[in-house]
Amino acid sequence: MNTGRTVFTELIAHLSHIEFQKCVARYDGDHHHRSLSCWDQYLAMAFAQLTYRESLRDIEACLQSMSGKLYHMGFRSRIARSTLADANESHDWRIFADFAQCLIATARPLYAGDPIGVELEASLYALDSTTIDLCLSLFPWARFRRHKAAVKMHTLLDLRGNIPTFIGITDGKVHDVNMLDEILPEAGAFYVMDRGYVDFERLYIFTLSAAFFVVRTKSNVLLQRRYSHPVDKTTGVRSDHTVILTAINSVKAYPESLRRVSYLDVTTRKRFKFLTNNFALPALTIAQIYKSRWQVELFFKWIKQHLRIKAFYGTSENAVKTQIWIAVSVYVLVAIVRKQMGLEASLYQILQILSLTLFEKTPILQALQASNSQEASHDAGNQLILFDF
């Protein structure tokens, strides 16, 4: 029963304030920051994500226009652009990163049974990065090239539910392969990556950890075929070989055998060659696992289109990372609400409804269920279940 609470209040009720305060205490977040607490900062920035606010002035104007409802929505301070700017500069971004991880830990079990389009019982993760371009004069700390600045958002995506399990935010010069050092491989899980992650010393750690990888190989990798296995060429698979590395440094880094699968995409007539340390799955399944990597590309496309991570409210490194992590936490929060309420609507539909109803005193389920009876008005041909338009 709704007791006069706004949709925003009901949405925020799915967050654990206790866990948030633990994150704040871990980094002494509210110490000497009496003007705006970390919680008020989070609520204001989450509001900005949900309603597509363009600037701090925009956030301030919208919240002040609803000043009579703010206390009941959880705000305990007046939101002014100057205090919000100061909070984004001074409150440690790791507070919001840790809180996003708490939400991720809640979301992943909810989507553990979701299909991934591959006959695979083990966990499947896709690792990739996306570059966010910045203005060099405003973000000099993120110098990427001579006249360009950028940050990279490195993401390990759990393909059961498309929930990010690891995110690393670096300047644009950091090579993707370095993120393999930040990942603790899960025994029995599969990790799918593009050829930018071919580093045999790092990949061998997956083998030693009893984890599996599927990576697209590079043309300059020197291999020697040891065994050939029969394949059904009508499936698109062209070859399935057991190989060893022949370059001296590669052999030292990865002394064991590998499996090379060659696959022809009948639509594009493009041939792909994959390396994996799994010798049990059918060759076609290996190709399908790599094909599922496209979901991480759709994830990046989706969050850039529907969350505020391309234009920033502050110019410091702390402000940029704070905004990205709060955007990620909002994405995961909506995914949690979607599952807990049993909604069939996509995240896109839910976000659109929330952007218009946050201040209304309507039961959130009633507001969101309206989208279940409506057909999506956009083409969903290249979108994921969570991301359908």
Number of domains in the chain: 1
Whether residue 352 is contained in a domain is answered as no
- How far apart CA 294 and CA 292 sit, in angstroms, is 5
If DSSP codes are grouped into helix, strand and coil, which group holds residue 136?
Answer: coil
Identify the domain containing residue 243 by its residue range: 195-282
What confidence score (pLDDT) does residue 389 get?
39
DSSP 242: E
What confidence score (pLDDT) does residue 376 get?
42
Average pLDDT for runs of 10 along the chain of length 389: 75 93 91 80 94 91 85 84 92 96 95 87 94 92 89 95 93 93 95 95 96 94 93 92 94 95 89 95 94 93 90 94 96 93 86 87 80 46 48
3 state SS for 151-181: EEEEEEEECCCCEEEEEEEEECCCCHHHHHH
Question: Residue 26 belongs to what H/E stretch?
Answer: helix 17-26
What confidence score (pLDDT) does residue 82 get?
92
Question: Residue 148 belongs to what H/E stretch?
Answer: strand 148-158
Whether residue 263 is contained in a domain is answered as yes
Measured CA to CA in angstroms, residue 120 lies from 9, 282, 322 at distances of 39, 11, 36
Whether residue 257 is contained in a domain is answered as yes
Cβ(201)–Cβ(256) below 8 Å = no
Whether residue 53 is contained in a domain is answered as no
Cβ(231)–Cβ(242) below 8 Å = no
What confidence score (pLDDT) does residue 388 get?
54
Whether residue 268 is contained in a domain is answered as yes
Whether residue 256 is contained in a domain is answered as yes
Provide Rg for the chain, Cα atoms. Answer: 23
Whether residue 214 is contained in a domain is answered as yes
What confidence score (pLDDT) does residue 380 get?
42
- How far apart CA 176 and CA 128 sit, in angstroms, is 7
Residue 99 in tokens: 């809180």
- How far apart CA 256 and CA 244 sit, in angstroms, is 7
What confidence score (pLDDT) does residue 365 get?
84
Measured CA to CA in angstroms, residue 8 lies from 58, 351, 365 at distances of 18, 12, 12
Our measurement of the distance from residue 7's CA atom to the centroid of its chain's CA atoms, rounded to an integer in Å, reads 25
The residues facing 207 across adjacent strands are none
What confidence score (pLDDT) does residue 6 get?
85
Residue 291 in tokens: 């094909």
Q: How many CB atoms lie within 10 A of CB 160?
A: 17
Question: Residue 99 belongs to what H/E stretch?
Answer: helix 93-110
Whether residue 275 is contained in a domain is answered as yes
Q: Tokens 């880094």 label which residue? A: 253
What confidence score (pLDDT) does residue 31 get?
76
